[in-house]
């Protein structure tokens, strides 16, 4: 803590100091550090501040952390309610995996759980269009930042598909999710497939793969329609040389903005760049091998729940011929829907159609299983 901050605390003005910081920047980490370092005598005042209007943004960001505990019997009942401990009002939080990696997740809404796994190099933020939509239609929407990405830890080890799947399993078990609907985009689709391949469908009601990488992106003798290794070497080189510029450039084919007549959203491009730059360098680099060289064919064969596969026929990142068209034949009774002209980033550029298709698939299955 700075000298000025120390003087505030010693002078008994901790709450005033935090109010000033919350107003200036509701998500600043220094506020969290001060909260965690608070003296017991300030505990009730601190809790009152956190549940106030000014403190709500910080509450929503950090209240599910196991480190923060609301003080005393006076606030214990309200704390459980306001901190979102009851089913369906969880907000945000973290879990810690067996190797000590912290996985950040968002948890919005009530109802049957829909669990989202995002593609490289993005975070849970990229799912907000789908989460808000489905949350408003009565579903509990959960999305996590893959290890090395977003607000999760940035470990050197474990940036591989097996560990990604195990991290997802750890999240599902920590939240005790059952009959969950798993939705994966791009690398996240591979994560969902490997999760089912390694952990089964005991907790899974159905799966949705959107612009997903399975069965295998890399061109091999057994997979002649894949992309040559040179394509992925170029991605690695771009990330190493200047990943900031690389991510900016990648947004053009990712969202189809390089096509004639495309309506370019600089906001969408900047959001992609920001999420990409939140990804740690080990995660950004090692994940390339994970999404390009992991053969998920056997995992797809193990999917025994209703599965929807959505893919754009103008996907320049994960070409449809070596992905969805093959996966839909491997997954038993899968439903394939091709979006004419849609790019890889279809969850943003075709979000209304994606949202409608997700809801229709989920609702239809709910009715069929009722």
> Is the CB of residue 328 less than 8 Å from the CB of residue 301?
no
Catalytic option among 21, 107, 315, 357 = 315
Q: Structure tokens of 286? A: 């090692």
Residue 102's SS3 state is: strand
Q: In this structure, what DSSP letter does residue 23 have?
A: H
* Interstrand relation of 180-185 and 204-210 (parallel, antiparallel or unpaired): parallel
Residue 186's SS3 state is: coil
Catalytic option among 117, 145, 344, 348 = 344
> Is the CB of residue 297 less than 8 Å from the CB of residue 330?
yes
348 among known catalytic residues: no
Q: Other C-beta atoms within 10 Å of 224: how many?
A: 8
328 among known catalytic residues: no
Q: What is the four-CA torsion angle of 87, 83, 91, 93, rounded to 10 degrees?
A: -100
323 among known catalytic residues: no
Give the C-alpha separation, 184 to 173, whole Å.
Answer: 18
Q: How far is CA 201 from CA 122, 177, 305, 340, in A?
A: 26, 12, 7, 31
Catalytic option among 79, 152, 153, 186 = 186
Which are the catalytic amino acids?
Answer: 186, 315, 344
């Amino acid at each position: 803590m700075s000298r000025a901050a120390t003087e505030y605390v010693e002078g008994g003005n901790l709450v005033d100091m935090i109010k000033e910081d919350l107003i200036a920047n509701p998500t600043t980490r220094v506020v969290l550090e001060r909260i965690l370092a608070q003296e017991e005598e300030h505990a009730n005042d601190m809790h009152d501040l956190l549940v106030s209007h000014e403190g709500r943004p910080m509450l929503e960001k950090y209240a599910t952390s196991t480190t923060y505990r609301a003080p005393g019997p006076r606030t214990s009942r309200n704390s459980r309610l306001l901190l979102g401990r009851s089913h369906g009002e969880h907000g945000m939080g973290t879990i810690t995996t067996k190797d000590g990696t912290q996985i950040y997740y968002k948890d919005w809404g009530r109802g049957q759980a829909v669990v989202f796994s995002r593609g490289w190099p993005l975070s849970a933020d990229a799912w907000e269009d789908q989460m808000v939509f489905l949350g408003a239609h009565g579903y509990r929407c959960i999305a996590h930042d893959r290890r090395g990405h977003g607000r999760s830890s940035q470990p050197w080890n474990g940036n591989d598909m097996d560990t990604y799947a195990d991290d997802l399993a750890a999240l599902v078990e920590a939240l005790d999710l059952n009959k969950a609907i798993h939705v994966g985009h791009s690398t996240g689709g591979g994560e969902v497939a490997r999760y089912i391949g390694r952990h089964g469908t005991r907790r899974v009601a159905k799966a949705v793969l959107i612009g997903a990488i399975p069965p295998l992106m890399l061109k091999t003798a057994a997979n002649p329609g894949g992309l040559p290794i040179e394509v992925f070497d170029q991605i690695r080189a771009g990330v190493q040389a200047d990943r900031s510029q690389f991510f900016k450039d990648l947004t053009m084919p990712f969202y189809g903005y390089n096509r004639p007549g495309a309506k370019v959203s600089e906001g969408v491009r900047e959001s992609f760049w920001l999420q990409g730059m939140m990804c740690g360098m080990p995660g950004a680099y090692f994940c390339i091998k994970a999404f390009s060289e992991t053969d998920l064919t056997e995992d797809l064969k193990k999917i025994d729940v209703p599965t929807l596969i959505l893919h754009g026929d103008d996907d320049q990142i994960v070409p449809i011929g070596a992905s969805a068209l093959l996966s839909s034949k491997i997954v038993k009774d899968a439903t394939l829907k091709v979006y004419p002209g849609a790019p890889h980033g279809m969850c943003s550029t075709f979000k209304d159609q994606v949202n409608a298709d997700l809801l229709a698939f989920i609702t239809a299955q709910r009715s069929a299983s009722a």
